[in-house]
């Protein structure tokens, strides 16, 4: 079984925040693959489905960002999920808007949600970092991540969320590199791919 976690802050006032791109990603996944309706479980909201022949639990921790690991850890213990089967979607300041990077393991790099996950689940999980760009000044970081995406951001945000949802089965199959490449190609189609993309 795989556990897919999106990081964000609960409540309508945070809904459109850059910091909540992880919630947006898992919402897109649940919609795209027809998973079960969200229900309250594991100090969060959970939805279930099957991808690439694997059972998948999707979780949005409702504990606030800096306690996200409590919810994920509870779900992992309940289902006896190996950390390598945990995939976490979250915002990344050090990537340009619309860029995505996947890696297994590592440190928290200053992200409070990831710090909490490492504390409760260990470091050996798959991280999907979704770029939101850096405001350029450390003093502006908190207002930047806690402000809503601008209207202009929808030009890359919607295609990114769609591509993540479309290609998620590759992540469940352990093909992190292929997933990253497919998402990149969806957002940056080669000229000869444009016509086939339009038909899609």
**In angstroms, rounded to a whole number, what is the distance separating the alpha carbons of residues 40 and 93?**
30
Helices and strands in the chain, H and E counts: 7, 7
Among 33, 68, 38, CA closest to 49: 33
* Lookup: tokens for 3: 């556990």
Burial of 166 (0-12, 13-18, 19+ CB in 10 A): middle
H or E stretch covering 199: helix 194-199
**Residues marked as catalytic:** 19
CA distances from 124 to 7, 112, 152, 159, 198 (A): 17, 17, 35, 29, 39
């Amino acid at each position: 079984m795989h556990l897919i976690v999106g990081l964000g802050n609960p409540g309508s006032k945070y809904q459109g925040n850059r910091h909540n791109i992880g919630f947006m990603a898992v919402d897109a996944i649940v919609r795209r693959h027809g998973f079960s309706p969200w229900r309250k479980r594991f100090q969060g909201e959970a939805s279930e489905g099957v991808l690439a022949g694997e059972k998948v639990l999707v979780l949005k921790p409702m504990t606030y960002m800096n306690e996200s690991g409590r919810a994920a850890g509870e779900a992992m213990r309940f289902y006896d999920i190996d950390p390598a089967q945990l995939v976490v979607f979250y915002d990344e300041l050090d990537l340009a808007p619309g860029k995505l990077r996947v890696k297994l393991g590592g440190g928290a790099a200053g992200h409070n949600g990831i710090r909490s996950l490492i504390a409760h689940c260990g470091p050996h999980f798959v991280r999907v970092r979704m770029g939101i760009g850096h405001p350029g000044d450390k003093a502006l970081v908190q207002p930047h991540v806690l402000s809503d995406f601008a209207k202009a951001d929808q030009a890359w945000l919607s295609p990114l969320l769609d591509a993540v949802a479309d290609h998620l089965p590759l992540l469940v199959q352990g093909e992190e590199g292929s997933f990253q490449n497919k998402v990149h190609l969806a957002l940056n189609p080669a000229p000869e791919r444009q016509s086939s993309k339009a038909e899609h």
